[in-house]
Amino acid sequence: MPEWTLWTDSPALALHCARAARSLGVQLQPEVFSDALHRLGKATGDFHALALSTEVGDKALRALVSLNARQVPVLLWSPQSQGQGKLAALGFPCVLNDTQAWATLLRLLEEDLEPPVNAPHLDKIEKAALQHFVRKKPSELGLVPGDDGILCFPTPATPLGDVRSLRVALEALDARTDRLSRPTMPHVAGVDAQSVLDVILGPPRTLSDPSSKAALAAYDVPLPIEELCASASRAAAEASRIGFPVRVALASPDLRTSEHPDLIAERIENASRVRDVYRQLMSLAKIRAPKARTLGVTVSATAAATSLLQLRLVSLQVGHVFCELGFADAHGRASGDTTYVLLPAREPHIEDALSRLAAASLILPSARAERKHVLARLTDTLLRLGTLLNDFRAEIEELTIPQMAIRVDGEVEVREAALSISDAFERSLVAR
């Protein structure tokens, strides 16, 4: 039997992991360090495992992305479950708050068992508990019931754990993403890099929506037809040119419309009303934040949407951009319905990530042709956003998209964006 090296940041967690491993005869050598992730990144050899008692943030993701994820079982001990989805997107088999199921996961990796498994000797109740992880047409060789409800692998008799632990471990293996089949980060032709640098260079700050969209436009990210207007008369003229009804929203780097939804007016039907809305929004902004910078308003074409999404993208290392995706409407935000994907990714990977959302049907239509079209447009948009962050990973800390619409016609458009700029420019001045 191989010996696993457990890297953990918690002495108590190391003790509980060792007990669970011992119950299945798994050989485990715990190593406790406050910088367990850093130590694991420098470790050599096979059979390394990880147990963390802290939430998985961007720093942890950057440390983990370079590892052979498929062979590093992870235990997260945290009241929140977001980390499990994040690690699965990186390809790690991950168990949440369950040391016994994690020990079973170690056993499955030792035996090189992947779902679905053969289970010809289990009874109907045990097979039902394992759900779709049981092979429909099993061979004779497979899981067998052992003593005290422990299931075993028969050659030789190797305890795997009880039915519940086995199901959780198989779910962890099934949820991980295969990073070996990922494409390389694409190249977007025709990008004027200097035009992007003209927008993003400067001190650390969060760009306004119009400035952020200027950088996105260089990568042909789909944006609504809109104009930034600094006066009521200009707003009315642009609305007439775009065509009514229009959407009018305050443009300010300090007052985000995603945080202040009353600073948006939808479906304005005439020029007179546009002028009134302009004055109302500017007045409201001044009352709410007297020192806030205001650029005017954006006047946008109105298009009906089937769903509104919110995204957050960060660059982990060269060629790897992590994307967090959820719903932007009030109910979606409150539910915390979120999924994760590591870019670049092909359409099947993105479809698999979206299918993990509880309300995935709001994004992906049931009709095959419509579903394929929406998925193609989403994939193209995500790859363009990922390429932007990869190309300017030193200058851009993260990209937040508070609102991306999937329109009724299946097209995608980014309605609001915010680029957070790093201190790369200031560091370059010091270096000189």
Tell me: do 37 and 57 sit in the same domain.
yes
Residue 189 lies in a domain: no
Quick one: pLDDT at residue 167? 94
Do both 418 and 321 map to the same domain? yes
279 and 319 share one domain: no
| Same domain as 336, residue 294 | no
- Packed helices 99-110 and 163-175: angle between N→C axes, nearest 10 degrees: 70
Is the domain of 265 the same as that of 341? no
Q: Check whether residue 270 and residue 415 sit in a common domain.
A: no
Residues 310 and 272 in one domain: no
Question: Taking Cα atoms as reference points, which of 397, 402, 418 lies closest to residue 325?
Answer: 402
Q: What is the pLDDT of residue 114?
A: 85
Higher pLDDT, 402 or 427: 402
Residues 29-66 have pLDDT tens digits of: 999 998 898 888 888 878 999 999 988 899 889 988 88
Q: What is the pLDDT of residues 183-196, one digit of tens each?
A: 899 999 999 999 99
One domain for residues 310 and 234:
no
Which of 90, 66, 68 lies closest to 76, judged by CA?
90
Domain of 252 in residue numbering reads as 225-301
For residues 379 and 280, membership in a common domain is answered with no
Looking at residue 351, which CATH number applies to its domain?
A: 3.30.470.20
Can you tell me the mean pLDDT for 2-23?
Answer: 95
Number of structural domains found in the chain: 3
pLDDT tens for residues 289-336?
A: 999 999 999 999 988 899 999 999 999 999 999 999 999 988 888 888
- Predicted TM-score (pTM) of this structure: 0.89
Average pLDDT over residues 156-180: 87
430: buried, middle or exposed (CB in 10 Å: 19+, 13-18, 0-12)? Answer: exposed
Query: What percentage of the chain carries pLDDT values higher than 90?
Result: 71
CB atoms inside a 10 Å sphere around CB 155: 8
- Given a contact cutoff of 8 angstroms between Cβ atoms, the answer to whether 297 and 280 are in contact is no
Per DSSP bridges, beta strands 338-343 and 320-327 are antiparallel
Give the distance between the most distant pair of CA atoms in the chain. 82
Q: What are φ and ψ of residue 325, in 5° steps?
A: -130, 130
